[in-house]
């Protein structure tokens, strides 16, 4: 095979790879009716896994505005989850598994009666499932809706960070750090 043929073959492979990447991105991330037109947050694209702090308290927990008590709810992730996994549509539904008894335990640790009126609180994943968070009690807290910012605003942040990971603008570990450090900072930036 001549040099010219090799160069042509390399060019064809590069173009085909780009086409495949485009097809995968468009099939994995279909357009959403409420697309966010928000500039990306500059973040380090590291490959270091994220390791939340250990849970050190199981009672007398107190929310700090829309943030959980860091000693009760430091966050927890599925260690084997990758960015590719969370970007598959339907991933969160497949792994969601929080029983009513676990929700009751979470609310009890925070001194909040369960159940609350619909729409006033939700047993929220601090590190959302769509960012690789798990269903462990160390990752759950009763998050209020109002006053804003509350769980609805946190959902916007979760969707934004998920999009950043799935477009490879941010690593999964960085998104997990940002949501669990102070998601309000991300909310203010976007």
Distance of alpha carbon 26 from its chain centroid, rounded?
20
Checking if the pLDDT of 156 tops 50, the result is yes
Tokens of 118: 């619909």
| 134 closest CA partner among 91, 82, 89, 95 | 95
Checking if the pLDDT of 8 tops 70, the result is no
Distance of alpha carbon 58 from its chain centroid, rounded?
24
Give the tens place of pLDDT for each residue, 103-141: 999 999 999 999 999 999 999 999 999 999 999 999 999
Give the tens place of pLDDT for each residue, 157-179: 999 999 999 999 999 999 999 99
* pLDDT for residue 23: 42
Instruction: Give the helix ranges, DSSP H, for the chain.
Output: 3-28, 83-86, 91-95, 100-109, 151-166, 172-189
* pLDDT for residue 142: 97
| Mean pLDDT calculated for residue range 20-37 | 38
Count the neighbouring beta carbons within 10 Å of the beta carbon of residue 22: 10
Give the tens place of pLDDT for each residue, 70-79: 999 999 999 9
* pLDDT for residue 22: 40
| 121 closest CA partner among 152, 101, 138, 142 | 142
pTM: 0.74
Listed in sequence order, the residues at least 6 apart from 175 whose beta carbon sits closer than 8 Å to its beta carbon are 43, 131, 161, 162, 164, 165
Buried b (16+ CB within 10 A) or exposed e, 150-169: bbeebebbbbbbbbbbbeeb
* pLDDT for residue 51: 86
* pLDDT for residue 81: 96
- Check: CB of residue 14 under 8 Å from CB of residue 22: no
Checking if the pLDDT of 35 tops 60, the result is no
Distance CA 57, CA 71 (A): 5
């Amino acid at each position: 095979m001549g040099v010219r043929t090799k160069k042509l073959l390399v060019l064809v492979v590069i173009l085909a790879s780009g086409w495949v990447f485009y097809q995968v991105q468009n099939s994995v991330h279909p357009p959403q009716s409420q697309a966010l037109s928000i500039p990306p947050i500059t973040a380090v694209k590291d490959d270091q896994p994220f390791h939340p702090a250990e849970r050190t308290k199981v009672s007398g927990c107190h929310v700090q505005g829309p943030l959980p008590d860091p000693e009760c709810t430091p966050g927890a992730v599925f260690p084997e989850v990758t960015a590719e996994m969370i970007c598959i549509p339907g991933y969160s539904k497949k792994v969601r598994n929080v029983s009513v008894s676990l929700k009751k335990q979470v609310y009890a640790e925070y001194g909040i009666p369960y159940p609350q009126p619909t729409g006033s609180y939700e047993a929220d994943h601090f590190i959302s499932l769509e960012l690789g968070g798990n269903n462990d009690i160390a990752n759950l807290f009763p998050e209020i809706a109002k006053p804003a910012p509350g769980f609805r605003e946190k959902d916007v942040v979760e969707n934004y960070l998920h999009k950043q990971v799935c477009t490879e603008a941010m690593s999964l570990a960085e998104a997990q750090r940002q949501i669990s450090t102070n998601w309000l900072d991300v909310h203010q930036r976007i």
